[in-house]
A and B are shown apart, each in its own frame.
Chain A
Amino acid sequence: MPPETWDKTFQELKSQYLTRSSERLDQIGDLLTNMAKSPGDVNLLRDLQRQFHWLAGSGSIYGFPQITKLGTHGEEFCDKLLRNGRGLTRSDWDKCKALLDALRVTFSGDDDPQKQTIEKPLPKSEHDGIEVMFVDPEQNHFLFLAKLLEEQGMVIRHLKTAVSALESCSQKMPRACLISLPLSDASGYELVERIRILPGGQETVIFFVGAKSGFLDKVQAIHCGADGFFQMPVDWESVEKRLKYLLDRGKAQNFRVLSVEDDPDQAYFIRAVLESAGYQVHHIPDPMQFEEALLSFNPDLVLLDILLPGMTGYELARYLRQDERWATMPILFLTTQNQLEAHIESARAGADDHLVKPIAPALLLSAVASRLERARFLKNLLHRDGLTRLLTHTAFMEQAQAVVAQCKRNQNRLASLMLIDLDKFKQVNERFGYAAGDKVLISLSAVLRQRLRSSDVLGRFGGEEVAIIVEDLEEYDAVNLAQRLLHDFANVEHRAPDGTVFHMTFSAGVAMLDPKVMDVERWRKHAEQALKAAKNNGRNCVMKILGGKR
């Protein structure tokens, strides 16, 4: 391929295109003038639609995606007008005029395709801008990790000595510190202790990386206040995973606590303490409302009194434990009962803790926080695929169900389902072995995670199929996003164990949810059809299906 010839030719064609485009815009202007005079003339409207159609079909090819977008709007708008056949109203005309103005601005504003494509910035990674400090006398231990973190927008500070690290921390505390042992000017443990007493030092995540790692080293590391100890040679991806997990820990999580308490004063106390720490609290005085509250409030933790009207807290706990839906739900008792028997009975009923009233607010908070933390960790393990860390099929479908329910309540919300299937994946497994195939899946999940918002739902449908739910995007943008994901993924270099470098692509089907007529199964079927169409269309492409809502 002679790229220079191509570039030159492309630039020539582009300048011709720009000339013709400005003539086209003038023609649109003339059409609009005529349409203002005879608003019922269908032929004028057809001509206008053709002009928009042409812009829609050509803009992106020449590096003007915004033109394609505006043209598509115009074309669809004309289509609507032609179909309802009532002629052009003043506001219709204004809208066409506004589109023309926007087209003019877009063409005249900048003809640099690079800039044109930044119409909508890619969603930022949720860890964008987070500062991480590396303390490493050799300055070379963390190179790979630095690359992994920088890819996600994190900012790295490299320091050589404990003294400079402390200095840097006291000016601005990073969100995480990774310390390579041994240091030249102090013991790493001492450094951690010093960091912890600086302002903000309690919250920062601290890891050690070093050669020594007997059990006692790990204990000493934890004793001095570090969050983890990794032994050389390190699996950097697991360090990254653990780091991100701990960074997210401190985020204001909107955990929901359901409190069952018949004493209004106690209920008030519990609510005040937990809400002050940022939890959402729902309180019911009557255990008969328990099931309904579980379903509607969907709590992350329940706090039960033992003596309740008509029922005991033990029975509620047993009720929860016999249902696998609530398997990971932490149950805490908060009661005046302090006999040994009551503690034993609580444990038997499956409770996680038995707290005795009156209770200090700090104790209540720490009990709640630690149980929630543990539950989140377990849920993560249970609901996520072991290889890609994406949601399992069941967990994904549960989330999909929840999205459908939300959209049925609020029909202004938009949701699209993307099904992604790797092209010719079996050949990778056959040629390079399953380990290489697994790596491809991991890098697909990494690309998706980096490019999507944390609110987007990602799941693995077994094999090489991945599903994504993206909310609040119009169909056009959802398809566009899928195309960008494909583009990014296709650029990733994969390396087989024998050193061969190869590239992979995927096919994707996108379906918008129309909550009026669709349930989750129907939605999925639509996306599957679109995916099938993409496969039939030669793979390596994105296809959509008309979901009704446009």
Chain B
Amino acid sequence: MKVLIIDDEEDIRSIASMSLGILGGIDVVEADGGEEGISKAAELQPDAILLDMMMPVLDGPGTLAKLRENSATKHIPVIFLTARAMTSEVEKLKQMGATGILTKPFDPTTLASQVKAILGVQ
């Protein structure tokens, strides 16, 4: 299983990738912004994308919209990472096509199992 993490914060990327990799046995690819993320997604075809909400230039919802427009990436499940999991916001993101939402700060010891639970894999 391969997951792409799109987040501009190196600290978040590195711990999320360690946590998914070491504790979850998941292959991880990183991108430090929306644009880079979209091209890596199209090229590498990950099984899921972990997407930060708040990023400079292209933010999470903007990135999601572009991923959904692109025929090479529109089928890939996207899980948001956000510090504000308000219900209204969650609904909005779901309508936009997000598969799940994880709150930041997350627990690095359970991140992998949460991602797997959202994707419905063991």
Contact = CB atoms under 8 A, between A and B. Distances in A.
Interface of A: 1-2, 5-6, 9-10, 13, 16-17, 20, 50, 53-54, 56-62, 68, 72, 75, 529-530, 532-533, 536-541, 543-546
A20 B11 contact: yes
B105 A57 contact: yes
B94 A57 contact: no
Contacts of A58: 9, 11-12, 104-105
Interface stretch (B27-35, B41-49, B63-71, B83-91): B83-91
B117 A530 contact: no
Contacts of A2: 22
B29 to A, nearest CB: 18
B96 interface: no
B100 A60 contact: no
Contacts of A50: 56
22 contacts: A5-B22, A9-B18, A9-B22, A10-B15, A13-B11, A13-B14, A13-B18, A16-B11, A17-B11, A57-B9, A57-B12, A57-B83, A58-B105, A60-B105, A61-B11, A61-B104, A529-B87, A537-B101, A541-B114, A543-B87, A543-B90, A546-B86
B54 interface: yes
3 A-B pairs with least C-beta separation: A60-B105, A538-B118, A57-B104
Contact of A544 (B18, B85, B101): B85
B103 interface: yes
A10 B11 CA distance: 11
Contacts of A537: 85, 90, 100-102, 118
Contacts of B12: 57-58, 61
A65 to B, nearest CB: 8
Main secondary structure of the interface of A (DSSP, over half): helix
A53 B81 CA distance: 13
Contacts of B107: 60-61
Given A6-B23, A57-B105, 4 more contacts: A56-B105, A61-B15, A72-B83, A536-B94
Contacts of A538: 100, 114, 117-118
A56 B107 CA distance: 14
Instruction: Name, among A6, A16, A62, the residue most crowded by chain B CB atoms within 10 Å (CB to CB).
Output: A6
Given A529-B87, A543-B85, A544-B85, A61 B108 contact: yes
A529 B87 CA distance: 7
A546 B91 CA distance: 13
A533 B118 contact: no
A543 B94 CA distance: 15
B70 to A, nearest CB: 25
B91 to A, nearest CB: 8
Given A56-B83, A68-B105, A10 B90 contact: no
A111 to B, nearest CB: 15
A533 B83 contact: no
A247 B108 CA distance: 43
Contacts of B9: 54, 57-58
Contacts of B117: 538-540
Nearest to A17: B11
Contacts of B118: 537-538
Interface string B15-27: 1001000110000
A1 B54 CA distance: 31
Given A9-B18, A61-B15, A541 B103 contact: yes
A68 B101 CA distance: 19
Nearest to B7: A57
A224 B106 CA distance: 59
B22 A6 contact: yes
A13 B22 CA distance: 13
Contacts of B105: 56-61, 68
B54 A53 contact: yes
Nearest to A543: B85
Contacts of B85: 533, 537, 543-544
Given A58-B9, A61-B105, A537-B101, A13 B86 contact: no
Instruction: Name, among B11, B18, B54, B105, the residue most crowded by chain A CB atoms within 10 Å (CB to CB).
Output: B105
Nearest to B119: A538
A79 to B, nearest CB: 10
Contacts of A1: 22-23
A378 B39 CA distance: 69
B90 A533 contact: yes
A529 B89 CA distance: 12
Contact of A62 (B15, B22, B87, B90): B15
